[in-house]
Amino acid sequence: MLDERTIGLFLEGTIDTIYVTLASTLFAYVFGIVMGVALVITRKDGIRPNALVYSVLDVFVNLTRSFPFLILLIAVIPLTRLIVGTSIGNNATIVPLVISAAPFVARLIESSLLEVDPGVVEAAQSMGASTRQIICKVLLPEAKPSLINGSAIAATTILGYSAMAGAVGGGGLGKLAIQYGYMRYQTDVMIVTIILLIVIVQAFQSIGNWATRKCDKRSR
């Protein structure tokens, strides 16, 4: 089983999976941070309460999160084609992954930011901080350890979804597991794929934990 070709496949699959996961996580954060911050500041006890914006965002996030990923993956194919020009391959997988992960990331960010002591926000307000300054200088920096911890959770969740993309022509370890492990009954390939996925998840989580501990100034 461990001939040169198979090892090459595993290597390629691992690299593809890490690439798709990290790229999707990055883009999901670009949208997620905006939505998460908006959710926190527009809520009733937030610094810029706005019932309309909050409820629209809240419903949108819940709606997107309740979509089964496999269905979403197929449903957004026209959009994927529009953005990356094709509906197969690594880059094509990133589009639905970002769409599905961004609302999840928004919730992670929302819960991290809500952990910031409201008293600290009040103190900043008493010093004349603007809304932007409170977001950039208080909420995000004070929540940093929790945000980093959340990003490890987001990355591992996105990794799990990315394997599903293998079913519709996406690359990576998911493709190996489906094409070789499942369709060709190559149990050994399946087992190796799973072990590789476990190692990657473990690595993400360990890096996340380490970085969280490293940057948190509260526990020394």
Partner 1 sequence: MNDTLRDDAPPASQAEALIRIVDLEKRFQGKNTDVYALRGVNLEIRRGEIFGIIGKSGAGKSTLVRCINMLERPTAGHVFLEDKDLCTLSDAELRRARRSMGMIFQQFNLLMQRTAEQNVTFPLELVGTPQDKARERARELLDLVGLAKRMNAYPSQLSGGQKQRVAIARALATNPRVLLCDAATSALDPATTDSILALIKDINTTLGITAVVITHEMSVIEKICSQVAILGKGTVVESGAVADVFFHPKTEFARRLVLPEPLQNMPHERLYRLIFNGRSSFEPVIANMVLECGCPVNIMYADTRDLDGVAYGQMVLQLPERKESIERIMAYAKARSIMLEEMPHA
State the residues that interact with partner 1 by CB under 8 A. 117, 119-120, 122-130, 133, 137-138, 141-142, 144-145, 215-220
Q: Which of 166, 118, 115, 104 is nearest to 145 (CA)?
A: 115
Which pairs with CB-CB distance under 8 Å and at least 24 residues apart come from 80-87? 87/168, 87/169
Instruction: Using the minimum distance from each CB to partner 1, give the nearer residue, 13 or 150.
Output: 150
Q: Which of 26, 12, 23, 21 is nearest to 160 (CA)?
A: 21
- Closest distance to partner 1 from the beta carbon of 209 (Å): 18
Cβ 176 vs Cβ 10: under 8 Å: yes
Cβ 37 vs Cβ 135: under 8 Å: yes
- Closest distance to partner 1 from the beta carbon of 126 (Å): 4
- Closest distance to partner 1 from the beta carbon of 50 (Å): 15
- Closest distance to partner 1 from the beta carbon of 73 (Å): 39
The values of phi and psi at residue 86, to 5°, are -145, 165
